[in-house]
Amino acid sequence: MRKARAVLVSAVMVLGASLTIGATPAHAERLAGVFKDYSECERIGTHGITQGWWDGYSCEWEGQYRYYFLYA
């Protein structure tokens, strides 16, 4: 009985972890580019809107990497 319980608990833990890791919030944006200049990030973000690639975008400075990340 103990072995069966241990196996069952292990299986439930692995299943729970895999579901948690695979979950993505519905409002999550995808990374569309990485740029050194803010103006270049804005230019590509606007270009993506005019081309219909995305509906909105944001350019965010990541200080630890020293780059602008374009999320769309």
pLDDT in tens, 13-67: 444 444 334 444 545 689 999 999 999 999 999 999 999 999 999 999 999 999 9
Domain that holds residue 61: 2-71
Q: Please, how many CA atoms are within 13 Å of residue 5, restricted to the half-sphere of its CB?
A: 2
Q: How many domains does the chain have?
A: 1
Q: Where is pLDDT greater, at 55 or 10?
A: 55
Residue 10 in tokens: 């292990």
pTM beyond 0.85, yes or no: no
Determine the Cα–Cα distance for residues 29 and 48; give it in Å rounded to an integer: 14
